[in-house]
Amino acid sequence: MTYGTGLRSLMVGLGVLALVGGCAAAPLPAPVPVPRATAQALAYQSPSLAGIQIFPKTNAWNTKINKSKVDKNSKKLIKGISGKLHPDFGADWDGGPFGIPYVVVSGSQPKVPIDFIWYGDESDSGDPNGVGNGSGKGAYPVPADAPIEGGASSDGDRHVIVVDRDNRLLYEMGNAYPQADGSWEAGAGALFNLNSNKSRPKYWTSADAAGLPILPGLVRYDEVAAGKITHAIRFTVSKTRKAFVAPARHYASTSRSTSRPPMGMRVRLKKSFKISGYPPQARVILQAMKDYGMILADNGGNWFFSGAPDSRWDDNQLNTLKKVPGSAFEVVKMGKMTKG
């Protein structure tokens, strides 16, 4: 399964605003509509996750690796991933802000039926007390207007992510399509308890090919604005190995080449790489890549890393990251590898 394409993700717009000119001494002129793209770009901000701990601080996503040893095969693995860093999110407008969106709901949000059409036997039913029941059916608290990665008409990965803030539960779907009766169809779905470090069953996928959650690896505007990212970042490469290492639980390749990276491989920006000359938003992200690194989660564009869409991103700042070569990274020592 390959949900991560490394292509620009577009999301659903939020409506049209209007600007009105005039003064108290004269009648107001007729409203002047703002172009749809501009209006939507001004409007969209990702929901706040304030007060919501995304997995325990001991979770792999939240663990620093700045002092970890370098893997013995680091040079060979990095050499096999051509290209430079590429932020797959931002505020640039082309039908909608791009990135992987998410929605935050209360514990009273009604659940709707989900039909898992590809990986039903590896998808969670939505019962927080158990895992998938193998029926290919489930029920998730997905609002009717939940944002879809790429927008309503997207033919891409179409991730839908829902955070239940009251029950501390994370619901994620890939290739998700809303149905006329209020239900959804999805390629696969996964449920994660945000208070737990429990992994998915071995060899199970999720809404991501590596069987990992997506939300904890997204770069979010609120944390960058605060000056610090305290978690690893999700990234993709175009060619992976038929193998995985923790925290991944699944592979998505037929190749056994040792020059290709396994799912779950973690990389970090080298300590020697100078980041002081980068603009503020880019510099916060680069520091996180030194401290927490990036985790390989899916097949997609080489060195594409994920974030949430937000109109407050400065795309000129983010685009400076495209100058960072893959050779500036090294592979952190990996644990036991599970081969296919």
Q: What is the pLDDT of residues 233-259, one digit of tens each?
A: 999 999 999 999 999 999 999 999 999
pLDDT of residue 18: 29
Q: Is residue 312 part of a domain?
A: yes
Q: Is residue 29 part of a domain?
A: no
Q: Is residue 90 part of a domain?
A: yes
pLDDT of residue 155: 85
CB 76 within 8 A of CB 98: no
Instruction: Provide the token pair at 139.
Output: 């029920």
Confidence of residue 37 (pLDDT cuts 50, 70, 90): very low
pLDDT of residue 216: 98
pLDDT of residue 109: 98
CB 237 within 8 A of CB 66: no
For residue 142, give the nearest of 110, 165, 120, 115 by alpha carbon: 110
Which residue is listed with tokens 């923790």?
Answer: 246
pTM: 0.87
Looking at the predicted structure, is the pLDDT value of residue 47 above 50?
A: yes
Which residue is listed with tokens 């029941």?
Answer: 133
What contacts 12, CB < 8 A, 6 or more positions away?
96, 145, 147, 148, 151, 152
Most confident residue range from 31-45, 93-107, 137-151: 137-151
CA distance 263 to 20: 52
CA 324 to chain centre: 20
Looking at the predicted structure, is the pLDDT value of residue 95 above 90?
A: no
Length of the chain: 340
Looking at the predicted structure, is the pLDDT value of residue 40 above 50?
A: no
Q: What is the pLDDT of residues 318-330, one digit of tens each?
A: 999 999 999 999 9
CA distance 103 to 289: 25
Q: Is residue 252 part of a domain?
A: yes
Mean pLDDT across the chain: 87
Q: Is residue 3 part of a domain?
A: no
Looking at the predicted structure, is the pLDDT value of residue 280 above 60?
A: yes
The total number of structural domains that make up the chain: 1
Looking at the predicted structure, is the pLDDT value of residue 30 above 60?
A: no
Question: Measured between alpha carbons, how far is residue 3 from residues 43, 63, 206 in Å?
Answer: 28, 25, 10
Question: Measured between alpha carbons, how far is residue 322 from residues 78, 83, 232, 319 in Å?
Answer: 17, 9, 19, 6
Confidence of residue 132 (pLDDT cuts 50, 70, 90): low
Q: What is the pLDDT of residues 199-228, one digit of tens each?
A: 999 999 999 999 999 999 999 999 999 999
Which amino acid, one-letter code, is at 296? L
Instruction: Provide the token pair at 254.
Output: 């037929």
Q: Is residue 11 part of a domain?
A: no
- Can you give the residue range of the structural domain that contains 82? 53-339
98: exposed, middle or buried (Cβ count in 10 Å: 0-12, 13-18, 19+): buried
Instruction: Provide the token pair at 253.
Output: 């390749």
| CA dihedral of residues 186, 313, 41, 307 (deg, nearest 10) | 0
Stretch 34-52: mean pLDDT, rounded? 67
pLDDT of residue 131: 57
Q: Poorest-confidence range of 37-46, 101-110, 171-180, 299-308? A: 37-46
Looking at the predicted structure, is the pLDDT value of residue 8 above 60?
A: no
Confidence of residue 12 (pLDDT cuts 50, 70, 90): very low
pLDDT of residue 21: 30
Region of residue 6 (phi > 0: left; psi between -120 and 50: alpha; otherwise: beta)? left
Q: Poorest-confidence range of 8-12, 34-38, 174-178, 289-293? A: 8-12
Q: Is residue 93 part of a domain?
A: yes
Q: Is residue 130 part of a domain?
A: yes
CA distance 260 to 277: 32
Q: What percentage of the chain exceeds 70 in pLDDT?
A: 84
CB 190 within 8 A of CB 176: no
